[in-house]
Amino acid sequence: MRIALCQLNPTVGDFQGNVALMDNALARASEEHPDLAVFPELFITGYPPQDLLEKPWFIDQAKRALSSVSATSRKYPEIGILTGTVTRSDRPSGKGLRNSAILLRDGKVLATVHKSLLPTYDVFDEARYFDPGEEIRPIPFNGEVLGISICEDAWNDPSLWHRPIYVRDPIAELAEKGATVFVNISASPFHAGKAEIRYHLFARHAVRHGIPFVVVNQVGGNDELVFDGRSGCVSPDGTLPAYLPAFDESVRIVDLARAANGQSFVPDDEIESIGRALVVGLRDYVRKCGFQKVAVGLSGGIDSAVVAALAAEAVGPSNVFGVTMPSPYSSTGSSEDSRVLAENLGIGFAVIPISDIYQSYLDELQPYLSGPEVGVTEENVQARVRGNILMALSNESGHLLLSTGNKSELAVGYCTLYGDMSGGLGVISDVPKTTVYALAEHLNRDSEIIPRAIIEKQPSAELRPNQSDQDTLPPYDVLDGILDLYVDGGASPDEIVSQGFAAETVNWVTRAVNRNEYKRRQAAPGLKVTSKAFGSGRRMPIAARYEP
């Protein structure tokens, strides 16, 4: 059997556009005469549709879009089409919807398969919307028996979990019932290291059952989630006769009759993958939200420099506008470094000093301030003046303002509400500070885009005389190590101390994380690139009193 792997980038709710993407892919694939063309999970609706699934009109539109797909399939009568969509359930109780895979050919629905395992962890909340499929059965098609599964159906592997979270193993059931090829349609989001996890998961299925495993994963960004694609086929010997590129749309044919002795799996460079994920996520957020241009405040620091560089790659330098806003405490080098960065990137650039505006605030607030010294209130006034200027420029020009805070700062609240947290998208809000430095070096791999002075200077908010981040925070390598264990790994303070970190530092960091939940709840949506991002995948109470 010849299978077309159609790794595409749908938009949530854009039924007409998604069906058009399918039509174009089929036109390309048809030149190589595949027997079956496979599209990702919930491709017709786009993934994740979230509470749109609670709107009856949305389900009606999805049904009409499936009729359009049926009409499209008549143009290619020899090609089976396997795609994901939402369907209504005929059960008298439950949610009334299914996450389904539909197999069509020549305008007719040959089979409908429902997702059995509905994830409700991290960013997933599928039991909120769907009823699980009860029946698991392979589907005969063109001389093969298709073991069709939908994303999570393939993830009930004992090696992934501390304890099993599902009773059933759909892949094993499909093998027992005679499947000759596994086909998984997927919308599996990216995080660093996940490609290797996926490969080993699918390879275990293929090798254990002696059956090739075909997977088609979505690509592109939708809100905080970035999908990396990396669709392919794993042979029973664990090799890859087909492996589609990461983060790009692609249509490729795999011939199962010639699927032996493929290439070995080689993990991608982690920093390169994170950089590409951020570029794709930013590009699609801008495009799918209807923006064309972005603005970024340039502080002369590494965070804003990396965001500006990623933005220039994502939407083009001519669509990026950088603004530096020196205050009384800004170093001369900060403004100059920002100017050099803008020239290196070829982006728009402006200097808007804030000293007079800042002084106006202080003059009006003077009766209410505790003294002449620069404290947190005065520091935050500067950040908020900058945030207001950037938002005013965004209002006037229609640019999407990008916030530039990193995960380390956001974790411990080293950021200002309505100041540097202003913006419509947190590009690096899931990127630890140490990884920001690695990204800067990666961006400079061919030539110096980010000036060395920015990379090598001591990090500082420059909101008071001679300020350094390390006046308030532990060294970033220490901070990020603790945050990785506490936020991403779920370790307790005692467990973190047992890893060699100082108890005083651990207690300060974990308490700072806990008490700054209220700030993060008000932050811009941020692109997810780690296994546990702040946002929809981490739901912590604000009004709470707890001590781990």
Report the amino acid identity of residue 289.
Answer: C
Could you give the CA distance from residue 474 to residue 434 in angstroms, rounded to a whole number? Answer: 13
Could you give the CA distance from residue 360 to residue 164 in angstroms, rounded to a whole number? Answer: 61
Nearest by Cα to 278 from 342, 317, 229, 226: 226
Could you give the CA distance from residue 162 to residue 164 in angstroms, rounded to a whole number? Answer: 7
Structure tokens at 497: 């101390």
Could you give the CA distance from residue 200 to residue 205 in angstroms, rounded to a whole number? Answer: 9
* Whether residue 532 lies in the annotated active site: no
Residue that is written with structure tokens 């980038």 in the block = 9
* Long-range CB pairs of 349-353, under 8 A, 24+ apart, other chains included: 349/298, 349/321, 349/322, 349/323, 349/324, 350/321, 350/322, 350/323, 350/324, 351/323, 351/324, 351/325, 351/326, 352/323, 352/324, 352/325, 352/389, 353/325, 353/326, 353/327
Report the amino acid identity of residue 403.
Answer: S
Q: How far is CA 256 from CA 129, 181, 245, 252, 306, in A?
A: 35, 9, 19, 13, 43
Could you give the CA distance from residue 227 to residue 195 in angstroms, rounded to a whole number? Answer: 11
The residue from 6, 126, 151, 224 that is catalytic is 151
Q: How far is CA 378 from CA 112, 368, 385, 461, 463, in A?
A: 62, 12, 11, 13, 8
* Whether residue 41 lies in the annotated active site: yes
Could you give the CA distance from residue 327 to residue 338 in angstroms, rounded to a whole number? Answer: 14
Peptide bond into 241 cis (omega under 30): no
* Whether residue 126 lies in the annotated active site: no
Structure tokens at 377: 């209130």
Q: What letter would DSSP give residue 484? A: I
The residues assigned a catalytic role are 41, 115, 151
